[in-house]
Every structure is written in structure tokens, then in C-alpha cells.
Amino acid sequence: MMNIVVILKQTMDLEEQVTIEGLKIDNENVELILNPYDEYAVEEAVKLKEEHGGGVTAITFGKPEAESALRTALAMGADKAILVEQERELDESSIAKILAAAIRDNEFDIILGGNMSVDNGASQVGPRVAEELDIPHISTLTKLDIDGENVRAERDSEGDVEIVESMLPILVTAQQGLNEPRYPSLPNIMKAKKKPLEKVDIEDLGLEEVVSKVRSTVVDLYQPPKKKKGRIFAGDLRQQVQKLVRLLHEEEKVV
């Protein structure tokens, strides 16, 4: 029997048009979803439960609307969920401390999370949670095997594969390719509405000081510059080179 925890995040659907207001992204008119990388973590957690028995607890930190991401995890097969509610945007260090405090109140053998969130790509929260809990962690997993207390994992390392061995308890983060996340069926979506979801306040965890001492703040936020359209030069190679040199000289002012 395994006690399995999944840390996850609600993010915006990147297919939506993003609007920036000051130093924040306007979420009013975008669809909020379970972070795609966290779907791999939830799927792997459910597979571990199916193989070894036990239960899966999904935990997230955020505003009340983050409950929908937890309901998605429950529909995928998690057994219960915990939402640590907080309206304020916090940095990764603070979020990790809060999640670790919530996890300490639960028995766990393994913690899973996504390799990164698609909205900022920091890849910090998972490893920071492991450090807070003083347990080993393995990132960017593409394969996971557990035999008793022994853990054997394959991880993506810039295109290569590393094989890492460790012991439970452990935290791992999921990379694309670890599995194929299941699509929640309608009956499971309905069942998820009745599964237990606990809401926790920062005060309940005794971490008001963490919220008041955020270590980093956003100083600028902007859209990436639009890419210029490509050009195709006609003619033979000599003519193409002449046209390219003329463009670089007259338009780009680089030669």
C-alpha cells in the first residue's frame, strides 16, 4: 500500500489570447485548466495506486477557482484533494514552504508533480518542496519503477537518458513521455464532485510570516516581440545572394 501525493497547479490554456494588465495576466476571459505537465504526474500517481494499492491525495495552492484543477485530478482517479487558499500571488520559495507544510500533515511515500508549469516554466516548486521535507528528488522523469522501497527512474537530460536509483520517500517531477494521461469519463467527472476536498487557510498552517516575506517580485511583464515574416528569394544562387546583401544593407542596416 502506498500513500501518494500529487502537487499541482491551475494554469491558463495557452491556446487562449493572453492579455497583460500592468504586472499581471488578466485571467478573466481565459480558460483555466490543470497544468498539462501535472496531468502526467496525476496519471502516474493513479497508475502507482492501481499497481501497489493505497490512495492518492492531490494538493494545490491558489485562489478558490483552483478547485476546478483539483476536481480534474479527482476525476482522473485521485481519492481526495486539499486546496490551500490564498488570493495573493507568491514566489516559488513561498509556495514550496506552504505546500510542504500541508503535506507534512499527511503520510506519504512518494510525491509527484509536473516538471514545470506552462505559464512560467520555473521548474522550482517541486525540488523546493523536496528540500523543505528533506527528501531526495528526481526531475524530468520519463520512466518510473518502484520495487518495495527501491526507486529506479529514467530522466530526460537535454536529449539524453539518465538512470537514477534512490529510495522512498521521494519526490519526482514528470516530463512529457512518462505516460499518456487518461481522459476523465463523464461518470468519473460526476463522481469527482462527491470526493472529499479539504480547504485550508494559511493561518491553519501557521505560515502568515511566509506570506508577508515574499523573496521575489515581478518588475516587468510583456508579450514577446512578434516575429517578422520570412522571405524567399527567387533566381539563381548569385541573384539570391545579391538580394540578401541588399536587404541586409538597406533594410536591416547591418552591412
The stretch 139-167 carries a mean pLDDT of 93
What whole-number percentage of the chain has pLDDT above 70? 93
What does the alpha-carbon distance between residue 183 and residue 17 come to, in Å, rounded to a whole number? 25
Chain-wide mean pLDDT for the chain?
88
Quick: pLDDT tens for 179-231. Answer: 999 999 999 999 999 999 999 988 778 777 776 666 777 777 777 777 777 88
Note the pLDDT of residue 141: 93
What does the alpha-carbon distance between residue 101 and residue 202 come to, in Å, rounded to a whole number? 10
pLDDT band of 255, cuts 50, 70, 90: low
The stretch 123-127 carries a mean pLDDT of 90
Q: Classify 3 as helix, strand or coil.
A: strand
Note the pLDDT of residue 48: 97
Grid cell 529506479 is found at 152
Give the range among 84-88, 111-115, 224-228 with minimum mean pLDDT.
224-228
Higher-scoring residue by pLDDT: 207, 177: 177
CA distances from 232 to 239, 244, 251 (A): 12, 10, 16
DSSP H or E stretch at residue 68? helix 67-76
| Burial (Cβ within 10 Å: 0-12, 13-18, ≥19) of residue 100 | buried
Quick: pLDDT tens for 36-62. Answer: 999 999 999 999 999 999 999 999 998
Note the pLDDT of residue 216: 73
Instruction: Give all domains of the chain, ordered by start, each with its CATH number.
Output: 2-212 (3.40.50.620), 225-255 (no CATH)
Note the pLDDT of residue 120: 77
CA angle 225, 230, 234 (to 5 degrees): 160
Contacts of 106 (CB under 8 A, 6+ apart): 3, 5, 57, 82
| Burial (Cβ within 10 Å: 0-12, 13-18, ≥19) of residue 208 | exposed
Note the pLDDT of residue 103: 94
- Tell me: pLDDT of 26 over 70: no
Q: Is the dihedral of CA 75, 78, 81, 86 positive or negative?
A: negative
What does the alpha-carbon distance between residue 253 and residue 246 come to, in Å, rounded to a whole number? 10
pLDDT band of 252, cuts 50, 70, 90: confident
Torsions phi, psi of 26, nearest 5? -75, 115
Residue type at position 75: A
